[in-house]
Amino acid sequence: MQITVYRTTAGFAALAAEWDTLLNASQADSLFLTHTWQTLWWEHYHPGELCLVAARDTEGRLVGLAPLFWNAEERSLQTVGCVDVSDYLDWIVAADSEATVYPALLDTLLTHPDVPAWEVLAPCNVPQDSVSLQWLPELARQRGLETEIAQDDVCPLLTLPGSWDEYLQTRLNKKQRHELRRKLRRGPGLAWYQVGPEHDLTAQVDLFVALMQKSHPEKAHFIQDSQNRAFFYAIAQATQQTGWLQLNFLTWQAEPIAAFFNFLYRNRVLVYNSGFDPAYAVYSPGIALMARIIQQAIERRYAVVDFMRGDESYKYDLGGVDTTVHRLFIRRPL
């Protein structure tokens, strides 16, 4: 196993041609681990010192990548992307190479002179079915390290059936079906659209941000932060170019009243953020818009609508079932 530790942003450039190929060959494949997302996140937040650890097999093929950064104040190594704007994070390891790659990565973090002397290794937002959660705790214990796994959040998923009628009958209970039908009948004058190449993306993101600010004080506080706002606009531009962006609006007499900022990745609709105008709450605009998104996803044969982190009630009203993400703490004994 050949190991390289990159301590500057030159590492992103050095790995650019291979990063997503490895990601696609791993069980950790997620939009939030793509080269596009990781580099943009680092560009806008860079909360510490970069520490990308790459593993290659004897043929020089990239088979493992631990995208980390050093938090000097906490003396910890954390995953690039931690924690608020990246819903799923992990180490990236080629499928069927786990038995050699995970020990090599962990031993590198313990012994390599270019890796800071950390006290805590703390990957965050690791999905419940991650291979990392199967390998790293036991490997750490074998090396005399203390381990702890804590739940970070819930991520409700909606597995999509073959038709809208089947969705109503099998994913919703009687009360949920009644409520959804009632809300969809409530606003016959409502219309919806998805942003496409014919739109001015910046202007459409402006509309979304305005609805986001209106919908809740916490969202307003989030998007008023200059780093968050700049990242939001940058990721919209980048994901539109890759074909991953799905920006949806519900309108009333041509006035945008609700919006969902989603991504399309690996046969999934990822529900990333939302906003609505409380003045139109009588129309339940968020539910009405999401129902249309779900119906379209079924028609286009998507497998899952992933509501991602958070336990907002609408996710369960529309049939979401909880999965979880976790933070793994690996500590060196004092």
Which pLDDT score, from 0 to 100, does residue 5 have? 98
Peptide bond into 83 cis (omega under 30): yes
Kindly report the CATH number that applies to the domain delimited by 161-302. 3.40.630.30
Q: What is the mean pLDDT of the chain?
A: 97
Using alpha carbons, select from 231, 246, 262, 305 the residue that is nearest to residue 36.
231
In angstroms, rounded to a whole number, what is the distance separating the alpha carbons of residues 104 and 111? 10
Residue intervals in the chain for CATH 3.40.630.30: 2-154+325-331, 161-302
In angstroms, rounded to a whole number, what is the distance separating the alpha carbons of residues 200 and 237? 11
Distant-in-sequence contacts of 73-78, Cβ < 8 A, 24+ apart = 74/120, 75/116, 75/117, 75/118, 75/119, 75/120, 76/118, 76/119, 76/120, 76/121, 76/122, 77/51, 77/109, 77/115, 77/116, 77/118, 77/120, 77/121, 77/122, 78/48, 78/122, 78/123, 78/124
Query: Residue 113 above 80 pLDDT?
Result: yes
Which pLDDT score, from 0 to 100, does residue 189 have? 78
Query: Residue 257 above 70 pLDDT?
Result: yes
Which pLDDT score, from 0 to 100, does residue 83 have? 77
* Contacts of residue 17, Cβ cutoff 8 Å, sequence gap at least 6: none
- Residue 26 has what DSSP assignment? B
In angstroms, rounded to a whole number, what is the distance separating the alpha carbons of residues 160 and 301? 8
Which pLDDT score, from 0 to 100, does residue 288 have? 94
In angstroms, rounded to a whole number, what is the distance separating the alpha carbons of residues 239 and 248? 14
Query: Residue 324 above 70 pLDDT?
Result: yes
In angstroms, rounded to a whole number, what is the distance separating the alpha carbons of residues 285 and 191? 10
In angstroms, rounded to a whole number, what is the distance separating the alpha carbons of residues 83 and 228? 12
Locate 278 and state its tokens. Answer: 């409380």
Query: Residue 188 above 70 pLDDT?
Result: no
Locate 83 and state its tokens. Answer: 């924690």
pLDDT digits (tens, 9 = 90+) for 303-314: 999 999 999 999
At the top level of CATH, the class of 2-154+325-331 is alpha beta
Query: Residue 250 above 70 pLDDT?
Result: yes
In angstroms, rounded to a whole number, what is the distance separating the alpha carbons of residues 115 and 118? 8
Cα-Cα-Cα-Cα dihedral sign, residues 208, 257, 215, 151: negative
Query: Residue 186 above 80 pLDDT?
Result: no
Which pLDDT score, from 0 to 100, does residue 213 have? 97
Q: Report the b/e string of 169-204 with b at 16+ CB within 10 A.
A: eebbeeeeeeebeebbeebeebebebbeeeeebeeb
Mean pLDDT within 258-282: 97
pLDDT band at 187 (very low <50, low <70, confident <90, very high): low
Is residue 52 a contact partner of residue 64, using CB atoms and an 8 Å limit? no
Query: Residue 315 above 90 pLDDT?
Result: yes
Which pLDDT score, from 0 to 100, does residue 9 have? 97
Strand partners, 326: 126, 151
Which pLDDT score, from 0 to 100, does residue 334 have? 74
Looking at the chain, the whole-number percentage of residues with pLDDT higher than 90 is 96
Locate 212 and state its tokens. Answer: 């986001």
Locate 174 and state its tokens. Answer: 């009687």
Mean pLDDT within 216-239: 97
pLDDT digits (tens, 9 = 90+) for 4-49: 999 999 999 999 999 999 999 999 999 999 999 999 999 999 999 9
In angstroms, rounded to a whole number, what is the distance separating the alpha carbons of residues 66 and 98? 13
pLDDT digits (tens, 9 = 90+) for 129-173: 999 999 999 999 999 999 999 999 999 999 999 999 999 999 999
